[in-house]
Amino acid sequence: MIWASYALAALAIVLAWPAPILLSRARWPARSPFTAMILWQAIALAGGLSMIGAMLIWGLDPLSDTLPGGLRALSAIVFGNGPAGALGVWHVFALSAALLLGTHLVFTLLLTYARIRRQRRRHRDLLTLLSSPSPEAGGTVVINHPAPVAYCLPGGARSVTVLSDGLVDLLEPAELDAVLLHEQTHLTQRHHLLLWAFAAWRAALPWLPTSRLAQHAVNELIEMLADDEALKSVEKPTLIHAIAIVASGPPGATDPGQDGPAGADPGQYRAADGAAGDGAMAPSARVHRLLTPQPPLPHSGRTAVVAGSAALLALPTALLMIPGLFIW
Amino acid sequence: MATLGELERTVMDMLWETGEAVTANMLRDKLAQSPEGPQAHKELAVTTVLTVLSRLEKKGLVDRERDTRPHRYQAVTSREDHTAELMHQVLGSAPDREAVLARFLGTVSDGEAATLRKLLGRN
């Protein structure tokens, strides 16, 4: 098993560092965002699996030649007070680290979920009081605010798309349709699940290049997917126009008309830029992608990426499960 | 008959309008007089109003004064403050924000906005 643990460690390092850097610099994901999304998920899953697996089977090596055998022997030591003489300090250390990392990942996932859900519930409570149903589209509400904003709040059957009346005033009906289609794609394709998983992955391992790059990439890819879906129903110039109008804000950014809402200055969040660049795709990049469309990856290319993703998941699984794979 | 969500909304609107602590009875009377829905609110029992108020209290939107009898209720903060809170979640830079809600467009920098304004001019 010792060789399998080295192979897993090597895989973990490749997936934590060079692989995500290369993928984040590649240009093809903009051509086939869906395929790229599969690859990012495979990198994250296989990365986590090989990290934990490497430590686990390295620590179990003195006990058995197989993972199940090692785990049985370990439980005999832990729960059955069996002799632990075979395990050195470093083996115990590796096993503890594997356990800690595994627990850490699962708990961060659950905690992130709880936090997101709490924020969504609060947001929905406030929306109930402050918004009114849109006359134009179902599942859509309008909120009274001068800044042009549109977003969707996922939540199963209670998912809702929110528009500000600042936005409704600025956009032509067709442009509004483009915005709605874009947002509804986020909901129907369940992008929030991806965002949740990758937000948790980043929260768990913030110092790892892969978790930061992956979250950034996923944020961009979902925007591309939503744009592509919207383009099936609206003209491209309409969507581009909508993006440009929302991005450039209301005509007079210091609109004095509203005397009410505290912090309603539509320009106030504009200043928070750069560092606040939260991974959402830069509008100019999005417009650029729409203006100079590249053909999607050929079928063979997409098949290769998907097959590679499957192999990426199969490799650590096989290293963990098949004894003697690395005995030569 | 109005749904609970609609009632919550109406009750909050009244509390915001009144601006002071009121009892459930006073609210019920106000609801019965409200121009937008005399039919919807006329038959409302005080217990229904109390249910709505306790739901709002649980959500942290309404404060209950417990040292008077009957209890008096008032809005925790103004409508404008709640709107600001909502917008801060949407437009601010909270971590995980993109996971909580997906915006049509991320935060736009000044340079970015200028580029796009130019593009818009050409269109």
Summarised one tens digit per residue, pLDDT across range B21-79 is 999 999 998 888 876 655 556 678 889 999 999 999 999 999 999 888 899 999 999 99
CA–CA distance, A134 with B65 (Å, rounded to integer): 36
Interface of B with A in 95-114 (CB under 8 A): 96-110, 112-113
A258–chain B nearest CA distance, Å: 11
> Residue A299: in which H helix or E strand, if any?
helix A299-321
Higher pLDDT, B13 or B112: B13
Residues of chain A with C-beta less than 8 angstroms from the C-beta of B103: 149-151, 280
Residues A150, B103: C-beta atoms closer than 8 Å: yes
- Position of tokens 């395990």? A87
Chain A nearest CA to B120, separation (Å): 6
Using alpha carbons, select from A219, A236, A226, A224 the residue that is nearest to residue A296.
A224
d(CA A298, CA A138): 37
What is chain B's mean pLDDT, rounded? 84
Q: Check CB contact under 8 Å for B119 and A128.
A: no
**In order of start, what are the domains of chain B with their CATH numbers?**
4-75 (1.10.10.10), 79-122 (no CATH)
| Residue pLDDT, tens place only, A230-288 | 999 999 999 999 998 888 776 554 443 444 444 444 444 543 433 334 456 788 888 88
User: Which residues does chain A have within 8 Å of residue B85's beta carbon, measured at their own beta carbons?
Assistant: 126
Residue pairs between chains A and B whose CB atoms are closer than 8 Å = 176
Rounded Cα gap, residues B35 and B23, in angstroms: 20
CB–CB of B107 and A280 under 8 A? Answer: yes
* Residue among B104, B116, B117 with most chain A CBs within 10 A, to mutate: B104
Residues 6 or more apart whose CB falls under 8 angstroms from that of B93 comprise: A272, A275, A276, A278, B107
**A245 contacts B106? CB cut-off 8 A:** no
Taking an 8 Å cut-off on Cβ atoms, the answer to whether A237 and B8 are in contact is no
Q: What is the pLDDT of residues A10-21, one digit of tens each?
A: 999 999 999 999
Give per-residue pLDDT as tens, A294-312.
999 999 999 999 999 999 9
Give ipTM to 2 decimals. Answer: 0.87
Three-state SS for chain B is: CCCHHHHHHHHHHHHHHHCCCEEHHHHHHHHHHCCCCHHHHHCCCHHHHHHHHHHHHHCCCEEEECCCCCCEEEECCCHHHHHHHHHHHHHCCCCCHHHHCEECCCCCCHHHHHHHHHHHHHC
Query: Cβ atoms within 10 A of the Cβ of A42, count?
Result: 20
